[in-house]
A and B are shown apart, each in its own frame.
Chain A
Amino acid sequence: MSLLEFENVTLKFGGVIAVNDLSFNVEEGEVFALVGPNGAGKSTAFNLISRFYEPSAGRIQFDGHDLLAHKPSEVAALGVARTFQNNELFDHSTVLQNLLIGRHRHRQTNFLAEIFFSPNVRKQELQNRHMVEEIIDFLDLQPYRDKMIAGLPYGVRKVVELARALATGPKILMLDEPASGLSVEETADMRWWIDDIRRQMGITVLMVEHDMGLVSSVCDRVLALANGAKLAEGTPEQVQTNPAVVEAYLGGAA
């Protein structure tokens, strides 16, 4: 069984069909990319998995669970972590606090114990801090640990968002345009990190990306979308040379 399964998912906003009868599977341990022109429904597919949108038809399965039976806030507990296209960090907190929010799904204590900061809370906090530090170490965020998000450059914010998603300890990591707005060097870093996340941490990666260089160097399989429907699926080379994909990007032959 695949880790993530989309079965004939359709999402309509009034008369607009954002996702049209889409089916695909993401296997455990692979890096899977969604590509396609703007408005193809890539981010919408992410938002469907995050349960921000309710599909009009179809089924989404994750790790044997029916995702549609869960609330948006329960999706993280199943092991789904995500980043956002245009950073959605907690701007008035430090990097450290942002990453600690990532640990929220592992929380064992309730607010009553926290008011008194009981020994259990302390133990849990130390453990959270330790987990977060490992991710800081992995993504080289040490210089920014105590900095406020509001003052950080865009490239760093992207990394913090990746770190926050990793801090949840996910089974699948959904990256919405991890390389958008990054410099060439930062994109290269991102490539190594995605590779390491898959190889060392064994986390499945699902990403939306426009940078075909990044896609073809890290992805095992690519799904091309246009107008909410599947155009082509396969290895990066197969998809890039698929006539339907070329047509969607460049327009049909005159």
Chain B
Amino acid sequence: MRVHFKTSYEQDIRFFEDRWTLFLYASLVILAFALPYLIDDFYLGEMTNVLIWAVAGLGLMLLTGHTGQASLGHAAFLAMGCYAYHILVKYGVTFIIAFPLAGIITGGLGMIIAIPALRLRGIYLAIATMAMSILVDDIIVLTAPWSGGVSGMFSDPLNLYWIQIDRWGTPVAFYYVVLIVIVLVTIGYANILRSPTGRSFVAVRDSEVSAQAMGVDIARTKMLSFALSCGVTGLAGALMGMFSGVFNNETFSVVISVQLLMMIVIGGLGSIHGAFFGAIVIGFLPQFLSISKGWVGDMIGGSAVAIPGLEFGVFGMILIAFILFEPAGIYGRWIKIRTWLELFPFYRKGMFKRQKSFLKTERLQ
């Protein structure tokens, strides 16, 4: 077991707990950068897809996992980011400017949308944001002159100074673009979490009443959370558009919103790791299913079986299983396994049992 003997306050605000953690994450990043040399283009494409989902997951995690505001409308923000970026590019803005700008535009729109949503909480907020997700479909159709409407838009190869990056032509370069984006987003996210803003998000999630009594402005905090969350989701949307190459009003449907929310619940709410774990599940499950369908077909001696809606059925079952058996998600389970290993053989069964919460002060409002 690692014991930290703390001798300075620096140790509590450090990015990495200790050298070992630094070493682990550094190796992970190096592995990620070396990945194109280790796997073929097909799996690299899948990996890129997973990382893009992880960016979107980080966006939603900030809002739902850390600020406690459920959103079923994040597909709308993916769409906004995607269209904002591609329309900017169409008008000749270069990637280096258009990409961050797409995030900022989406974040701004998210903040404006948050204003009426501030009065809602829990399931009502989820329903209101879901309406957003449905609405954006129509807006894309209505703004057809810019967005291409039903016939959709094509994503041109991205021009980065001297090189052209294209998901099909240069998958390795595109993978690196996505990787750099996610590393930067993750660092920013972790920085937010260890500073006052992140603490105010968590405070709003856990108890609005006492957050207010500590001087946290609830409305402003929620708006900031919406803005940052939507901004990051917008970046993911832009990447998603580049990845798929072509998209229209139906690409970012409500189903994507639900999938995003499922992803962070499965991964583990309230942790950066959770977004990554969830993205791995969501990203690889369709491939895994189609491969296993082949196996099943071979086993029963027939051709591959086609079951409509199998993917969503399996997603649903996985989600139910997690909610029943491991509400803390994959990351929560990993923490338990790690503690078990660290404390072996002294792990106790009840170690992660949460005491039932005591009566809360009669809720105001």
Contact = CB atoms under 8 A, between A and B. Distances in A.
B209 interface: yes
Among B12, B194, B205, B228, which residue has the most Cβ atoms of chain A within 10 A? Answer: B12
A50 interface: yes
A130 B192 contact: no
Contacts of A72: 212-213
B56 interface: no
Interface string B42-73: 00000000000000000000000000000000
A88 B206 CA distance: 9
B197 to A, nearest CB: 4
A64 to B, nearest CB: 19
Contact of B9 (A101, A133, A164): A133
Contacts of B209: 52, 84, 88
Interface stretch (A55-63, A90-98, A201-209, A239-247): A90-98
B84 interface: no
B194 A104 contact: no
Interface in A108-129: 109, 111, 114-117, 121-122, 124-126, 129
Given A84-B361, A90-B202, A122-B13, A114 B192 contact: yes
Given A84-B209, A125-B195, A71 B361 contact: no
Given A84-B210, A168-B215, A92 B191 contact: no
Nearest to B15: A117
Nearest to A77: B215
B359 interface: yes
A115 B191 contact: yes
Nearest to B269: A92
Given A115-B188, A154-B358, A88 B210 contact: yes
A73 interface: yes
A76 interface: yes
A92 B194 CA distance: 15
A114 B358 contact: no
A8 to B, nearest CB: 23
A150 B9 contact: no
Contacts, number: 129
Interface in B1-41: 9-10, 12-13, 15
B308 interface: no
B129 interface: no
A73 B213 CA distance: 6
A61 B12 CA distance: 39
B13 A125 contact: yes
Contacts of A76: 213-215
B364 interface: yes
Given A86-B359, A88-B361, A114-B196, A93 B206 contact: yes
Nearest to B351: A151
B235 to A, nearest CB: 14
Contact of B10 (A92, A107, A126): A126
B12 A96 contact: yes
Interface in A121-167: 121-122, 124-126, 129-130, 133, 150-151, 154, 157, 164
Among A93, A130, A168, which residue has the most Cβ atoms of chain B within 10 A? Answer: A93
A14 to B, nearest CB: 16
B190 to A, nearest CB: 9
Contacts of B360: 86, 88
Given A82-B213, A111-B224, A90 B195 contact: no
Contacts of A117: 15, 191, 194-195
Nearest to B356: A150
Contacts of A168: 214-215
A97 B202 contact: yes
Among A75, A125, A164, which residue has the most Cβ atoms of chain B within 10 A? Answer: A125
Given A129-B13, A168-B215, A114 B191 contact: yes
A102 B210 CA distance: 10
11 contacts: A47-B364, A53-B364, A88-B207, A88-B361, A111-B192, A111-B197, A121-B195, A122-B13, A126-B9, A150-B355, A168-B214
Given A90-B202, A111-B192, 11 more contacts: A50-B212, A72-B212, A73-B217, A76-B214, A85-B361, A88-B207, A90-B211, A96-B12, A104-B214, A114-B191, A151-B355
In order of increasing CB-CB distance, the 4 nearest A-B pairs are A76-B215, A105-B215, A90-B206, A114-B195
